[in-house]
Chain A
Amino acid sequence: MGRMNMKRMADALAVASLGGWATIAAAVSDMPGGPKVNQLNLTAPVTRIAEDQHWIHWFLIWVCLAIFFAVFGVMFYSVWKHRKSRGHAPAEFHESTTVEIAWTVVPFLIVVGMALPATRMVVEQKDTSNADVTVKATGYQWKWGYDYVKGDGEGISFLSTLSTPRDQIEDRNYPDAKARREQNPTYLMEVDNALVVPVNRKIRVVVTANDVIHSWMVPSFGVKQDAIPGFVRDTWFRAEKVGVFRGQCAELCGKDHAFMPIVVDVRSEADYRKWVDEKRKEMLAKAEDPTKEWQLADLQARGEKVYAANCVACHQANGKGVSGAFPALDGSKLVLGKQDGQIDIVLKGKPGTAMASFKQLSDVELAAVLTYTRNAWGNKAEDNIVQPAEVLAARK
């Protein structure tokens, strides 16, 4: 009777889980350059390294399965045949040196067989020499910064932030969030500025971090490298296909760990050159003169955008912060006080807290965001404007 019940229970569970499966799977499609729906194995490789990883994974699976079936074949045969209810009398043996030596030596040889191909792969993965392009990836809470330090595109630098809007993520604040994200196949794995690299060229990625440890991962390339604050480590890849490939931060880095994806846009040599030229022009146009005197309204408008990209995750859109974790800016003494104090904290951060240094932002951006906070929500600071020149002066 117990067995019947159990079987019925198992059936019900299976139906429940499969039912859920069908409904959700129907609504979403595979992510281009990211995971497939209900993907079972490693992501499709676009580098030699990732291909090797596929190979060794299958190799290990087959070896493990063979051992698994051998061991449990014997065990379950025994469970079936050597049971008391079938009248099997216990044997007396309880040791055999030969057998024991055999099943120590054979597994050792199997392990050596697994380690050999792995050794070659380790050496290959760690060889970051002779790169065509070197890019520095810096982990921030919670975004990535990219600087092209060597090769074509040298000097280009930008930040890369999650571009999935909050109205797709937060069901509590946006009742139709679910419907929106179901329309978005790249949900949580899309950014405003992707890392652009040329195809078939060796790209060395120098990885570091600004605050806590992050990890730069792109499964299609078979690459994952921790980003360690204060230290540089490197890894490399040579993408063999044009396309957009996606990954996510892989080391717990605080609140928005799940919201700082990595997107790499692999382009043909010509397209890459074109992108470099455009990006250079764009940066020239953007290089604003920090000594220019700005109007309040212009700074506020600019500052609102900077705030949305850099500050909103902690201090929140309403400036109220998160009680106990992230302080409110609305009504904050520091925000309403003299400019120096506020400039100082955004340039240096506050050690021992989640408030990191934002010195990577330009003088204009910092001045704009500070001006914005001084006039937003209920704030009406006496010194209601911060000029880029003041930020520039404070940097020295």
Chain B
Amino acid sequence: MSAVLDHHGDHAHDHAHDHPSGWRRWLFATNHKDIGTMYLWFSFTMLIVGGINALLLRTELFQPGLQILQPEFFNQLTTMHGLIMVFGAIMPAFVGFANWQIPLMIGASDMAFARMNNFSFWLLPVAAALLVVSYLVPGGATAAGWTLYAPLSVQMGPGMDLAIFAVHIMGASSIMGSINIITTILNMRAPGMTMMKMPMFVWTWLITAYLLIAVMPVLAGAITMVLTDRHFGTSFFNAAGGGDPVMYQHIFWFFGHPEVYIMILPAFGIASEVIPTFARKRLFGYSSMVYATASIAILSFIVWAHHMFTTGMPVTGQLFFMYATMLIAVPTGVKIFNWTATMWRGSMTFETPMLFAIGFIFVFTIGGFTGIVLAVAPLDIQLHDTYYVVAHFHYVLVAGSLFALFAGTYYWIPKWTGHMYDERLGKWHFWMSMITFNITFFPMHFLGLAGMPRRYADYPMQFADFNAVVTIGAFGFGLSQLIFLWAVVKCIRGGAKATDKVWESAHGLEWTVPSPAPFHTFETPPVVK
């Protein structure tokens, strides 16, 4: 994206020392904007790869029977779709936003550790290559589900080992990225910017970064135990050797539940930036937003076993995890109410970022309600591992995280490229995504209620119609993302010149620098009053 900086902004060269050009600029990048750009392109590429996985398996599921895929390959696709989307698309995209925006929003000249920043990015293509190549090894990619439950994951072929290494590398990348983000936020804010004056996006990322540092090592531990069970004769998860398969689930979900908040908190941050701008009104309840985010993060550590209600927990265990999970609805509700109050009696306009932000609240809330339904343990017994769960987490992850990422992209892309995006394309992208998303995922609620288990290559005839609708919707949703690619490429190549402030009512330091943002910004820290 910011390759265009060279051609357009003459002010990009207003510095005494030069920076490498050509491929060196990217391989040896230490500039937060270049690294942010690479993160964003990488995650978009993985979104496409993960999306192709999804469309292949949806094609098989278009009608009952086995037409194009063998069940073992089908399982590989579901597994890789999950791994690629979580670790390759959503997480790196948020890190890309953090790289671009955090220094600009807190008035820092760059990220704290510029070379580590480079390393944490370049680990990702290596990890992605391991994942994708694992399709080609004997036995194919891992087919144990993205949760990699033992002992099924112990049974897998060498594709599993590649996946374990890939996840390790991505974990290392995330931890380094988080250290960088925390250090930058805590130490490099412009004079006068106290913690409680930080933009919400910065707050949410600060909290997310702590979550990442806390849980990525836990995941690393879990998959390392799988690795040693597979190759070195340990029995962590093998009952015959004194281990326990359910222990894997406890460890995995101790990572896994904070992980879902890692993927949604920065999305909350983006929505909290976009909505006040287009409502032309300050964010309602700033401090309660901060407290709500922190509460969600803390609660996320004590709810993990709600993913395991059917493993056969004691009554007290079920009750504790049910209550704790339902409690999360309270701070999450506060956020929804605050956004609504921000819009209330504002002076709203509905450019694409605002559409995606409102769309985000709308569909995310539906996902939140199904989350409450699933939290109720006695009912979860019916819904666990059915399509209801698939519908639920796509409502919060696709319509939640991904829609917020789109909102953020349209919101800040004029600052990144110096051009306004094509509003008509943006609106098309929003409406097509919104409609096809719901065609894809809403019928899954019905399938799940009727008892269709997830990760099934074939299903009873009675589920045929909804599955056909879902597949049609999925292709529509996939194709809609090409509109996004088109809008972004068009915006990079040209378009109306963006002003420094870009949006009429935009507030924050990022809007005080020129558009496109020059290669180096805030070498002299601004003063925040």
Contacts from A to B (Cβ < 8 Å): 2, 6, 9-10, 13, 16-17, 20-21, 24-25, 27-28, 30-31, 34-43, 49-50, 52-53, 56-57, 60-61, 64, 67-68, 71-72, 74-75, 78-79, 82-85, 88-96, 99-100, 103-104, 107-108, 111, 114-115, 118-119, 121-126, 168-172, 177-178, 181-182, 184-189, 207, 211-213, 215, 217, 219, 222-226, 228-231, 233-235, 247-259, 322-325, 352-354
Contacts and interface: CB of A to CB of B under 8 A. Distances in A.
B462 A39 contact: yes
B481 to A, nearest CB: 16
A82 B344 contact: yes
Interface in B209-263: 230, 238-240, 244-246
A168 B458 CA distance: 11
Contacts of A213: 149, 151-152, 245
B465 A37 contact: yes
A212 B157 contact: no
Contacts of A83: 347-350
B323 interface: yes
Contacts of A75: 340, 343, 358, 361
Interface string B267-301: 00000000000011111111110000000000000
A44 to B, nearest CB: 11
28 contacts: A20-B465, A25-B464, A40-B450, A42-B449, A50-B382, A68-B365, A71-B365, A74-B340, A74-B344, A78-B346, A92-B281, A95-B285, A95-B287, A107-B330, A118-B377, A122-B319, A126-B314, A172-B66, A172-B67, A212-B149, A212-B151, A213-B152, A215-B310, A215-B385, A224-B384, A248-B451, A258-B456, A258-B457
A231 B246 contact: yes
A2 B326 CA distance: 42
A99 to B, nearest CB: 7
A253 B245 CA distance: 13
B386 interface: yes
Contacts of B462: 28, 30-31, 34-39, 185
Given A6-B431, A79-B358, A95 B284 contact: yes
B288 A231 contact: no
B282 to A, nearest CB: 4
B451 A41 contact: no
Given A31-B462, A85-B349, A213-B149, A171 B65 contact: yes
Interface string B324-353: 001101100110110011111111111000
A70 B435 CA distance: 23
Given A78-B340, A231-B239, 4 more contacts: A31-B460, A90-B281, A250-B386, A255-B72
Nearest to B231: A352
B382 A103 contact: no
Contact of A219 (B280, B435, B451, B454): B451
Interface stretch (B102-110, B169-177, B368-376): B368-376
Contacts of B282: 94
B494 interface: no
Interface stretch (B89-97, B200-208, B466-474): B466-474
Contacts of B144: 252
B140 A325 contact: yes
B238 to A, nearest CB: 7
A79 B348 contact: yes
Contacts of A57: 373, 379, 449
B427 interface: yes
B228 to A, nearest CB: 12
A191 to B, nearest CB: 14
Interface residues of B, number: 118
Contacts of A252: 75, 144-145, 149, 152, 454-455
B312 interface: yes
Nearest to A183: B461
B65 A178 contact: yes
B10 to A, nearest CB: 35
B348 A115 contact: no
Given A107-B330, A114-B326, A219-B382, A169 B348 contact: no
A256 B451 contact: no
A78 B344 CA distance: 5
B381 A95 contact: no
A299 B138 CA distance: 35
A148 B149 CA distance: 30
Given A21-B465, A230-B240, A255-B71, A111 B348 contact: no
A215 B451 CA distance: 13
Interface of B: 63-68, 70-72, 75, 137-140, 143-145, 149, 151-152, 154-155, 157, 230, 238-240, 244-246, 279-288, 310-312, 314-315, 318-319, 322-323, 326-327, 329-330, 333-334, 336-337, 340-350, 358, 361-362, 365-366, 369, 372-373, 376-379, 381-382, 384-386, 424, 427-428, 431-432, 435-436, 439, 446, 449-466, 468-469, 472-473, 476, 505
Given A38-B462, A111-B327, A215-B310, A43 B451 contact: yes
Nearest to A111: B326
Contacts of B452: 35
A185 B312 CA distance: 32
A169 B459 CA distance: 10
Contact of A24 (B283, B449, B455, B468): B468
Contact of B372 (A60, A169, A189, A353): A60
Nearest to B331: A104
Main secondary structure of the interface of B (DSSP, over half): helix
A347 to B, nearest CB: 15
A247 B67 contact: no
A82 B424 contact: no
**Closest CB pairs A-B (n = 8):** A230-B239, A233-B312, A121-B378, A39-B450, A324-B138, A91-B345, A219-B451, A94-B282
B472 A13 contact: yes
Given A71-B337, A95-B286, A212-B155, A250 B431 contact: no
Contacts of B377: 118, 122
A256 B152 CA distance: 13
A285 B322 CA distance: 51
Contact of A36 (B152, B365, B373, B450): B450
A100 B284 CA distance: 10
Contacts of A88: 345-348
Contact of B382 (A42, A114, A226): A42
Nearest to A1: B424
A2 to B, nearest CB: 6
Given A2-B424, A325-B157, A354-B155, A181 B64 contact: yes
Contacts of B373: 57, 60-61, 64
Contact of B345 (A78, A212, A235): A78
B464 A24 contact: yes
B465 A38 contact: yes
Most chain B CB atoms below 10 A, which of A53, A93, A256, A258: A258
A288 to B, nearest CB: 30
A53 B435 CA distance: 31
A157 B315 CA distance: 30
Contacts of B139: 324-325
B463 A35 contact: yes
Most chain A CB atoms below 10 A, which of B66, B288, B382, B461: B461
A35 B64 CA distance: 14
B50 to A, nearest CB: 18
Contacts of B379: 53, 56-57, 60, 118
Contacts of B327: 108, 111
A222 B345 CA distance: 47
B347 A90 contact: yes
B385 A100 contact: no
A114 B327 CA distance: 11
